[in-house]
Structure 1
Amino acid sequence: MRREDFKKLPLNRKIQILYTEGTFVVGIRYYTHKVNLYLLNDEYIEVFYNHKLDKIDNIDFLNREHTRMKFYLDQIQFSL
């Protein structure tokens, strides 16, 4: 599945695909969210879970330029 196709999917379908086809890598706490990182088809995807509201707020591809990267660097590998 292409990035563009995944981004267009409804949230519940993204969740289903990640939990059935993706591989959980690591979970971190980031402000008001628990962020779970998954690997799906050589792409890293973040799932933002708001524990106060008990809901997933967002699912998106990992932004390699974001400061959250420092939390992941010892857990993930990028191919060149």
Structure 2
Amino acid sequence: MIHSQKFNSLALKDKLKTLFLQGSFVVSIRYYGYKINLYLLNNYYVEVFYNHKLDIIEKVQPLEKNHTRMKFYSDQIKLPGDLAI
């Protein structure tokens, strides 16, 4: 199990490896030119920002529970309200 702070300190390729081996895909959204995939890793959510125009993953980061993007995700699916992010 990897905590969000340790996850955030990993190199991009190691974040992706950890996420794809241990995480669970939840949903994807379109957001300001990005396709953002949301994953559940242990007890927090992680976003993968894919720039389709450049065909690259630009960043991978834990999602803060109070971020405004939470509305975009919750409009598509019901996220557990008691899940610690």
Length-normalised TM-score, structure 2 = 0.85
Aligned residues: 80
Report the AA paired with residue 21 of structure 1: Q
Task: Provide the aligned C-alpha RMSD in A.
Answer: 1.3
Equivalent residue, structure 2, for 1:19:
20
1:35 CA drift (Å): 0.4
**Range 37-46 or range 68-77, more displaced:** 68-77
Partners of 2:81 and 2:12 in 1: CA distance: 26
Equivalent residue, structure 2, for 1:63:
64
Partners of 1:34 and 1:75 in 2: CA distance: 19
Equivalent residue, structure 1, for 2:81:
78
C-alpha offsets along residues 10-41 of structure 1, whole Å, 9 cap, x if unaligned? 00011011111100000000011000000010
1:72 CA drift (Å): 1.3
**Secondary structure at the residue paired with 1:70?**
helix
Structure 1 ranges of 4+ moved more than 4 A:
none
Which has the bigger relative contact order, CA under 8 A and spacing at least 6?
2
* Residue ranges of structure 1 left out of the alignment (5+ in a row): none
User: Sequence identity of aligned pairs in percent?
Assistant: 50
Length-normalised TM-score, structure 1 = 0.90
Report the AA paired with residue 27 of structure 1: S
**Secondary structure at the residue paired with 1:75?**
coil
**Range 19-28 or range 62-71, more displaced:** 62-71
Partners of 1:66 and 1:79 in 2: CA distance: 16
